[in-house]
Amino acid sequence: MFPDDRSCADLGRAMAALPERFELGFTTFCVKPSQFTDDPSDVGRLCREVVRRAQAIT
């Protein structure tokens, strides 16, 4: 969900549903970096954050 027409989505909010999905047996999820950052140089950091958060959940 985007808070307005100029802001990126919140990564924490987007990943909040993952624990339930993992419990249901899902083992794969997709992340579209452009939903969470407008800065191409920030994609690496964003991906590392996604992995860190996913590992903390599992």
Note the pLDDT tens digit of each residue in 27-57. 999 999 999 999 999 999 999 999 999 999 8
What average pLDDT score do residues 2-12 get? Answer: 93
- Give the number of other Cβ atoms within 10 Å of residue 9's Cβ: 15
Note the pLDDT tens digit of each residue in 9-30. 999 999 999 999 999 999 999 9
pTM of the model: 0.84
- Per-residue model confidence (pLDDT) at position 37: 96
- Per-residue model confidence (pLDDT) at position 6: 92
Write the DSSP assignment of 23-47 as a string of letters: HTT-------GGGT-S-GGGHHHHH
- Per-residue model confidence (pLDDT) at position 46: 97
